[in-house]
Amino acid sequence: MKITKLMTQLFVAVSLLVVASLDTTLYAQRPRRGVSKQYTSPEEIERRKDSLKYRLNAELVDANNADEVDSKANTRPVNTPEQIDSILAIWRASSSKEYYDKYFTEFKAHCSTVDTVSAYNNIDSLYISRLQAIMTPVPLTYNREVRAAIERFCSPAYAKIFSYAYYYFPIIEEEFINAGIPVEIRTLAVVESGLSPLAKSGKSAVGIWQFMPATGKEFGLEINSMVDERCNPRLASRAAAQYLKRMYNIYGDWTLAIAAYNCGPGRVNRALSSSGVSLEDAGQLFWDIYEYLPYETRGYVPLYMGATYAFAYHRAHGVTIPTPPMPIAVDTVMINRPLHLEQVSSTLNIDIEVLKMLNPEYTMMIIPATTKSYPLTLPVELFTEFDRQRDSIFAKDSLYLKEYVIHANIEKKKHEAPPVTMHTIKKGDTLSAIAKKYGCTVQQLMKWNNIKNANSLRIGQRIKVSNR
């Protein structure tokens, strides 16, 4: 029996050493066809040797029925929770990019015959063919208003805005799918806010979906001095999906539902009444009542169609979407006691601006979790670290929350004016572009800076971009 066992051990050892030798020779001298050269590196060869050594050790252990072995020599490396978080973050980010790369590639492949103007008599035919190729239950018509919107969004100026889609569109898509409405309506958020959760209109509409306070509260969004859930992209998208679905249930037409999102069902109803058009009438209802709608709404639906086209075909116009400024792979942890974002930032060494970007609903950077829990959004790679340092984070209460412990201090803070935000004029800047960037209007910029002529800007000039 001992001789048999010894022969078995020797046979296994010799076999594996031969394989190791062949493996080294094969990968060191002649890379296999179709295999990247990176697999022939010395590091890869050593890795393969180590792998074979591990298998050899394992076979010998099994042959001897050993009870005790060196754990370091015979145990595969185990990823730490922090490493797993990082791997998950990389996977989520790459998955998101691959998803949209595939999305754009499919459009291009499907429309390979219409990617050049030469295939058609004119540019209008090209645009029409591309719009028809976008499969959506929302009718995408074409006319001069839609063409103007297409050319507006298919410009490099909107590349950065569309980069935000890598972060915000998956959130919007999930909520729209859950609500049972077309995911293609996601591009309406580009028209509403430029995909900025902090966008604010002159009429006090706020957030990525530009909800007024009353409408936001109607759909269950919390709005007070410390929390404004209109700025939370997930909750706001959920509310927007509910509102759009309600409008569709009224009109049975997505273009009218989108129009009603902009101007309200009352004005759409008056336009229907004034035009004499019935919901039962065949045809394109929005365009049938176009002249009877408010001026802003007339441009609103074409802008949606132009944004939808641009999201699908920006590459055909030479527009490249850059990397978004925020982490793509994120998740939430529920917080059940008051927490200042600076407590997290200072402990986990995450930039406070990034943390504010991921948690825009906390207007004073405080999670007021006194009577209920609130979500804290973090990059995935920091989840384990947050849990590990939770006690250290909350131990900083007295440092960051002392001025908020007393209710009077909260009220005082609420009325304090934050530092005025300034913008330095650069070459190519216009008041219109600056207003869009900071979520205000041209008229407000002119008023705050006592500007009489919008064309009188000077390079290097500093102007206020907020009145707070």
Active site residues: 192
Among residues 16, 21, 25, which one has the least CA distance to residue 55? 16
Please classify residue 209 by burial: count the beta carbons closer than 10 Å to its beta carbon, then call 0-12 exposed, 13-18 middle and 19+ buried: buried
Please classify residue 201 by burial: count the beta carbons closer than 10 Å to its beta carbon, then call 0-12 exposed, 13-18 middle and 19+ buried: middle
CA distance 388 to 189: 37
CA distance 347 to 188: 38
Q: What are phi and psi of 423, to 5 degrees?
A: -130, 130
Distance in angstroms between the alpha carbons of the first and the last residue of the chain: 89
With b meaning 16 or more CB within 10 Å and e meaning fewer, what string describes 124-156? eebbbbbbebbeeebebebeebbbebbeebbee
| Helix extents (H) in 75-142 | 81-110, 123-133
**DSSP 3-state of 360:** coil
Residue with tokens 């999906």: 241
Whether 411 contacts 370, CB under 8 Å = no
